[in-house]
Amino acid sequence: LRRRSPASAMLPSRAPALCTALRRAAPAGLASLHSSARRCRAARVAVVLSGCGVYDGTEIHEASAVLVHLSRGGAEVQMYAPDVPQMHVIDHSKGQPAEAESRNVLVESARIARGKITSLAKLTTADHDAVIFPGGFGAAKNLSTFAVDGKDCKVNREVERVLKDFHKAGKPIGLCCISPVLAAKVLSGAEVTVGHEEEEGGKWPYAGTAGAIKELGAKHCVKEVTISFPAHVDTKNKVVTTPAFMCETALHHIFDGIGAMVKNVLKLTGK
């Protein structure tokens, strides 16, 4: 027979009495503990897509990075996209428009969302603690007309509504790559980054976007894409931005920079 230690021998007879004593001694403390656990819930984050593919929709690597970092951060995610036609369709193998094709932004975005996607018209601040916009030229073509009109662009009315509603509610907004132009256009005086303001021999091929952001009335903040300085946090407006593929660099730097943006967005939710 295996001998029990004195401590283990005490458990069967004294455990019920110990539990009773704890309940009598600190009922308020126990109730507080349980209620605190109930209050500790995951941040609910909406991710807004603009199609599927860097040249005419959402940049897929950026969307994936956003989703991975949100998953790692324990967030509950719902994806949205406007139910509108794309500006045009690009043959990504050639980098040229496919003249005979037309596609729907919501339908194409469903490819990234694995079918679990909702029309942007149904996105409300009441259901979410934050919203994030990955980049890709879809932000400049399907969520706005920035690709064609620059500083004179118009923003999709549902995108504009969402940005204004989250800003008014004091809930954080995350944007990467070229999508910060949306905040620059809609949120007066916002601070954003798209990286550097000079091309620097092709390292920052879209550096001209920074000038357009300034013309829109926003403040542009020069930032690196690497993990050292990868995101800008506009604490006043709760807008978090990172350059991502505005820079020609290694994929893991893009991934890490987006992770910094997501981390700051989640931090601003207070969850």
In DSSP terms, 70 is beta-bridged to: none
Identified catalytic residue from 52, 153, 177, 247 = 177
Q: How far apart are CA 223 and CA 176, in angstroms?
A: 12
Q: How far apart are CA 25 and CA 17, in angstroms?
A: 12
Compute the half-sphere exposure of residue 35: CA atoms within 13 Å on the CB side of its CA: 6
Residue 19 known to be catalytic: no
DSSP states of 4-37 as a string?
PPHHHHHHHHHHHHHHHHHHHH-HHHHHHHHHHH
What's the Cα-to-Cα distance from 263 to each of 29, 60, 163, 269, rounded to whole Å?
Answer: 32, 20, 19, 10
Residue positions annotated with a catalytic role: 177
